[in-house]
Chain A
Amino acid sequence: MTSDLQPLQRRAAVLRRPDLRRLGRPAGYLVLAVLAWLLPYGLGGYDMHVLDTALVFAILAIGQGLVMGIAGQINLAQVAFMGVGAYTTAILTTQEHMAFWPAAVLAVAAAALMGLLIGLPALRVQSHYLGIVTLGLSLAFLNWVTNAPLAGSGSGLSGIPVPPLGGVDLTNDYLYYYVELLAFVAALAFGLFVVRTRLGRRMRAMRDDSLAAGSLGARIPVLRMTAFLLAGVYGGVAGVLYAGLIRFVAPETFSITEMFLLLAMVVIGGRQSLWGCVVGALALSAVQEELTDLSTYAQLGYGAVVVLMVVFAPTGLAGVPHRLRTALQRRAPGPESATVGPFRPYPPAEPRPDAGTLLQLDAITMRFKGLVALSEVSLQVRAGEIRGVVGPNGSGKTTLFNIISGLYRASAGTVALQGRQIGGMRPYRLAHLGLARTFQNLRLFRRLTVREHLLAALDRSPTRWAWRYVLWPVGVWRGERDLGRQADALLDRFGLAAFAGAIPYALPYGIQRRVELARAMAGSPQLLLLDEPAAGLNGTEKAQLVEIVKSIRDSGTTVVIIEHDMGLVMSLCEQVTVLAAGRVIAHGSPAQVAADPQVIEAYLGRAAADRAGQEQPVTTPSEEPS
């Protein structure tokens, strides 16, 4: 037992150590800024030009990192977004004789619009489907620029004017570098700001489990479009800078080969870290330039590195320090113990004697093709109740939860929460109406820390809130501090403070269950649905669970619980509803239900039910036959 706990203890010890990196961080930024500022002094004219091009790709890579690494959308049109930015600048300045900067603004807007358009399929398809659709659409874009006379019919557009900037001569690659550097720093800073605050956190939650993120109040379709919008804007900025730097655009620059090169940059650097994306872009641009005479070998090389990276270092270069640290920690001894702390009960709410019906289901029927999973199920849950829902496997319990929480739309029947019809509402809306749930097989976010889980769940802001990122970033920052305080209080209440920085999947199962419960309670729901919360818990943990659920109810939250452990149901629930083969077969107090012959038959078969009918008292089905 103690040996099992040792890695955990070490991790906890590391987490408590004052974060020295935090002190070093501003100093590190300062050094980087000075280096970036002084860099041109040590470079020749040609190298300067190479660096300018590399910076364009670095900005593009940040956009790709945001959409793919952070939001988990396989976007293979990022280079096309850059193409839209560059071509719009070129067309507006050379064909329409517009001045450079107004054209640049329109170009970024056009790229953003293209981001939204190409992102549209993401509302319907994900993963590899999305990859191929975005790839196809970027081929469509290439097809247009190689044929349209407006875009130079494949021979490209030359004669883009030099961007005017006061008296500064931007034909000079050295001076252009500083313009790019400012844009790059702004792009990176904004990207990091997004990633580390609520918008980025929601995106990462969506990437890891869109279903769970949705049931916590994240509006998935809007989030996906926001990710593509960001990608489009970054692509547009990169395209404008490219047009201003090279002052010539041609289709080859935005080809699929370049897209795969960008993908290699992001994967090698580390797609989930914006810094990694930047490092990947700069490094691969440098290598590409070194091997310019051997470009095929370079291609062979980066292709091979991509394959090796995904197999052996999926987090890319950015993940190397972390992997080294964990490797070192494994050797270092860890002294302190870290078990899950005690739960601090909620302050009980004023008892409300007149509490009415909170949840009402009327004649819910759910059909999957030919299979009827639920048939005419009606259910009433009073506010302040702890309701048990039991039944053999396949009796439709989880389907019922999925209908209440908005994952499924019932084939027939109505669901009302506090008298309000909620049937067919999306999960994120239900979350905002005060509904929370846990999942049978723990849908935790794979790459979020325990604290981030709670922060993501505490964040109840509507998605339109994202405008503040552009108009009032200070407000975002302040909101973040508030969220942090609430998260710390919640961590403390659920005894999880020692694991705040840990990734839940690395923790023992019981703690993971506790994290999921804390996450569901973060929104202070009116109604909490618990889907087999005791599965996989040991005796002590089950006792703790009973205590926690009772306190949750006393705080004013109504609880509906699916559970197979009959002892737990008996000690916890005032009312129990029994489902079998999609129908409600019994309802009443735990003792009444356990004595019901129909229930016994459903669990143990007809013979058992007959016997139970003869000999009183009845045997209680303590565990469901599996």
Chain B
Amino acid sequence: MQVFLQTLVGGLSLGAVYALVALGFALVYRTMGLVNFAHADVLMVGAYVASTFTMTEHLPFAAAAAAAIVVTALIGLVIERMLRPLEGKDFDLMLIGTIGFGIVLEALATLVWGATGRAVPSPVQTAPLHLLGASIPSYDLVVTAVALVAMVALSLFLERTRRGVAMQAVAMDYDAATAVGINVGRSNAIAFAIGAGLAALAGALVGPLLYVSPTMGGSIGIDGFAAAILGGFGSIPGAVVGGVVIGLISSFSAGHFHGYSDLVTFTVFAVLVMIRPTGLFGERTVVRA
């Protein structure tokens, strides 16, 4: 029971991070129909920027995270601007293009911060909470709380602001949105920037939990992506649930299968996608001929 609870706690905080990653994927997918394969590398850059500010500039954690969000949002804008000629034309090419950006970001990070990576100290030093025999690190609570706030803020933005509604309109019908006077290019750019910002937030949060290195994006990115697909791509609540599910799966499979946890997680994920390609909350779309 104690082990179970401990695994559950670890899975939930990891799940919160995955949910943030999934939200970034989902936002960009919802507005542009594009899966950003560079998302994980944007996260890695965010983790580096945030940890650099806290470790060498001794900025408070919140300020460092904000700086990371700004930097990566700019990167997001650059990516969107470069790939704009392909928008609405060839998704496979755009996908390959974002993989190209991912390669570039990884190389840049290696050049700037070196290939070895760094351990980031936890910004919260208080003692862990004890609940039913399981110890809950206080930083895990911070991670979960920040992730929750970000999710709520994003939903409010999409549902309650003009810009958010306009972005959803673009997602539903590109041409119709253009026709009613929405600046589609700007809407996409904002979506990309917010998506990148979410990735940076996830990166800043995950830094103290994991080890920050140029290749850290790989598995977090795929787990976050798996979360987004599992939740039903483009669905905001789906991304949150998907994140938690994937967090729990990887946490429990790490407990049970030790070294083989990736093998188990990705195989389970592949099977889930085959059983229900539209995810838990995804809409079944009808092919129009």
Residues on A facing B (Cβ under 8 Å): 72, 74, 120-121, 123-125, 127-129, 131-133, 135-137, 139-140, 142-144, 146-147, 211, 256-257, 260, 263-264, 267, 296-297, 299-300, 302-307, 309-311, 314, 368, 398, 401-402, 405, 407-408, 439-440, 443, 531
CB-based contact B100/A300 at 8 Å: no
CB-based contact B96/A310 at 8 Å: yes
Segment touching A, from B128-136, B174-182, B257-265? B257-265
Instruction: Using known A-B contacts A129-B277, A132-B226, A139-B222, determine if residue A311 contacts B289 with beta carbons closer than 8 Å.
Output: no
Please give the distance in Å from A555's CB to the nearest CB on chain B: 26
Segment touching A, from B9-17, B102-110, B144-152? B102-110
Q: Which residue of the partner chain B has the closest CB to A408?
A: B286
CB-based contact B100/A128 at 8 Å: no
A31 to B269, CA, bound (A): 50
Residues on A with beta carbons closer than 8 Å to the beta carbon of B287 = 211, 407
Residues on B with beta carbons closer than 8 Å to the beta carbon of A72 = 92
CB-defined A-B contacts under 8 Å, sample of 12: A72-B92, A133-B273, A136-B269, A140-B267, A256-B218, A260-B102, A263-B99, A264-B100, A310-B93, A311-B82, A314-B90, A440-B289
CB-based contact A310/B259 at 8 Å: no
A218 to B142, CA, bound (A): 55
Task: Flag whether B237 is at the interface (Cβ < 8 A).
Answer: no
CB-based contact B277/A139 at 8 Å: no
CB-based contact B110/A296 at 8 Å: yes
A171 to B96, CA, bound (A): 38
Q: Which residue of the partner chain B has the closest CB to A260?
A: B103
Contact for A132 among B34, B100, B218, B225, CB less than 8 A: B225
Which of B83, B92, B97, B286 counts the most A-chain CB atoms under 10 A from its CB?
Answer: B92
Task: Flag whether B229 is at the interface (Cβ < 8 A).
Answer: yes
Please give the distance in Å from B283's CB to the nearest CB on chain A: 9
Residues on B with beta carbons closer than 8 Å to the beta carbon of A405 = 289
Please give the distance in Å from A150's CB to the nearest CB on chain B: 13
Q: Which residue of the partner chain A has the closest CB to B262?
A: A143
CB-based contact A211/B289 at 8 Å: yes
Task: Flag whether B35 is at the interface (Cβ < 8 A).
Answer: yes
Please give the distance in Å from B195's CB to the nearest CB on chain A: 15
CB-based contact B267/A310 at 8 Å: no
Contact for B100 among A121, A307, A531, CB less than 8 A: A307
- Where chain B touches its partner, the secondary structure class is helix
Task: Flag whether B127 is at the interface (Cβ < 8 A).
Answer: no
CB-based contact B107/A307 at 8 Å: no
Q: Which residue of the partner chain B has the closest CB to A68?
A: B92
CB-based contact B289/A136 at 8 Å: no
Residues on B with beta carbons closer than 8 Å to the beta carbon of A131 = 35, 37, 95
Instruction: Using known A-B contacts A124-B273, A299-B103, A307-B82, determine if residue A139 contacts B266 with beta carbons closer than 8 Å.
Output: yes
A135 to B221, CA, bound (A): 11
CB-based contact B100/A310 at 8 Å: yes
Q: Which residue of the partner chain A has the closest CB to B215?
A: A257
Q: Which residue of the partner chain B has the closest CB to A210?
A: B287
CB-based contact A140/B263 at 8 Å: yes
Residues on B with beta carbons closer than 8 Å to the beta carbon of A211 = 287, 289
Instruction: Using known A-B contacts A307-B101, A407-B289, determine if residue A125 contacts B273 with beta carbons closer than 8 Å.
Output: yes
Please give the distance in Å from A399's CB to the nearest CB on chain B: 9
Residues on B with beta carbons closer than 8 Å to the beta carbon of A443 = 289
Task: Flag whether B111 is at the interface (Cβ < 8 A).
Answer: yes
Q: Interface size bucket, B side? A: 35 or more
A140 to B268, CA, bound (A): 10
Task: Flag whether B91 is at the interface (Cβ < 8 A).
Answer: yes
CB-based contact B260/A144 at 8 Å: yes
CB-based contact B277/A125 at 8 Å: yes
CB-based contact A303/B266 at 8 Å: no
Please give the distance in Å from B109's CB to the nearest CB on chain A: 9
Q: For the A-B complex with A143-B263, A147-B263 known, give 20 more contacts whose Cβ atoms are closer than 8 Å.
A: A120-B270, A132-B226, A136-B266, A137-B267, A139-B219, A139-B266, A263-B99, A264-B100, A264-B103, A267-B96, A296-B110, A296-B115, A297-B107, A299-B107, A303-B101, A303-B106, A314-B90, A314-B93, A398-B289, A531-B289
Please give the distance in Å from B255's CB to the nearest CB on chain A: 15
Q: Which residue of the partner chain B has the closest CB to A369?
A: B284
Residues on B with beta carbons closer than 8 Å to the beta carbon of A267 = 96, 100
Cβ-Cβ contact count across A and B, 8 Å cutoff: 149
A314 to B92, CA, bound (A): 11
CB-based contact A306/B100 at 8 Å: yes
A586 to B132, CA, bound (A): 73
CB-based contact B95/A127 at 8 Å: yes
Instruction: Using known A-B contacts A121-B273, A132-B225, A300-B111, determine if residue A310 contacts B97 with beta carbons closer than 8 Å.
Output: yes
CB-based contact B277/A124 at 8 Å: yes
Task: Flag whether B3 is at the interface (Cβ < 8 A).
Answer: no
A137 to B277, CA, bound (A): 16
Residues on A with beta carbons closer than 8 Å to the beta carbon of B85 = 311
CB-based contact A310/B289 at 8 Å: no
Task: Flag whether B86 is at the interface (Cβ < 8 A).
Answer: yes
Residues on A with beta carbons closer than 8 Å to the beta carbon of B91 = 127-128
Contact for B96 among A125, A142, A263, A531, CB less than 8 A: A263
CB-based contact A310/B273 at 8 Å: no
Residues on B with beta carbons closer than 8 Å to the beta carbon of A74 = 92, 95
CB-based contact A135/B289 at 8 Å: no
Contact for B97 among A120, A133, A311, CB less than 8 A: A311
Q: Which residue of the partner chain B has the closest CB to A117?
A: B270
Task: Flag whether B153 is at the interface (Cβ < 8 A).
Answer: no
Residues on B with beta carbons closer than 8 Å to the beta carbon of A401 = 289
CB-based contact B90/A140 at 8 Å: no
A149 to B265, CA, bound (A): 20
Task: Flag whether B94 is at the interface (Cβ < 8 A).
Answer: yes
Encode contact with A along B22-37: 1 for CB under 8 Å, 0 otherwise. Answer: 0000000000001101
A440 to B288, CA, bound (A): 10
A300 to B107, CA, bound (A): 5
Task: Flag whether B274 is at the interface (Cβ < 8 A).
Answer: yes
Q: Which residue of the partner chain A has the closest CB to B101?
A: A307
Please give the distance in Å from B116's CB to the nearest CB on chain A: 13
CB-based contact B101/A439 at 8 Å: no
Please give the distance in Å from A140's CB to the nearest CB on chain B: 4
CB-based contact B260/A143 at 8 Å: yes
A147 to B289, CA, bound (A): 48
Interface residues of B in 234-289 (CB under 8 A from A): 259-263, 265-267, 269-270, 273-274, 277, 286-287, 289
Residues on B with beta carbons closer than 8 Å to the beta carbon of A303 = 100-107
Encode contact with A along B57-80: 1 for CB under 8 Å, 0 otherwise. Answer: 000000000000000000000000
Contact for B266 among A137, A260, A440, CB less than 8 A: A137
Contact for B104 among A143, A300, A440, CB less than 8 A: A300
Contact for A439 among B86, B259, B263, B289, CB less than 8 A: B289
Q: Which residue of the partner chain B has the closest CB to A312?
A: B85
A74 to B43, CA, bound (A): 23
Please give the distance in Å from A65's CB to the nearest CB on chain B: 13
Please give the distance in Å from B45's CB to the nearest CB on chain A: 14
Residues on A with beta carbons closer than 8 Å to the beta carbon of B92 = 72, 74, 127
CB-based contact B270/A137 at 8 Å: yes
Please give the distance in Å from A154's CB to the nearest CB on chain B: 9
Q: Which residue of the partner chain A has the closest CB to B267?
A: A140
Encode contact with A along B201-228: 1 for CB under 8 Å, 0 otherwise. Answer: 0000000000000010011001001100
Q: Which residue of the partner chain A has the closest CB to B33?
A: A128
A535 to B90, CA, bound (A): 26
A256 to B102, CA, bound (A): 12
A140 to B100, CA, bound (A): 23
Please give the distance in Å from A158's CB to the nearest CB on chain B: 21
CB-based contact B97/A306 at 8 Å: yes
Instruction: Using known A-B contacts A139-B218, A143-B262, determine if residue A302 contacts B97 with beta carbons closer than 8 Å.
Output: no
Residues on A with beta carbons closer than 8 Å to the beta carbon of B82 = 307, 311
A127 to B225, CA, bound (A): 14
A396 to B166, CA, bound (A): 31
A137 to B226, CA, bound (A): 12
CB-based contact B274/A124 at 8 Å: yes
A402 to B265, CA, bound (A): 39
A146 to B35, CA, bound (A): 29
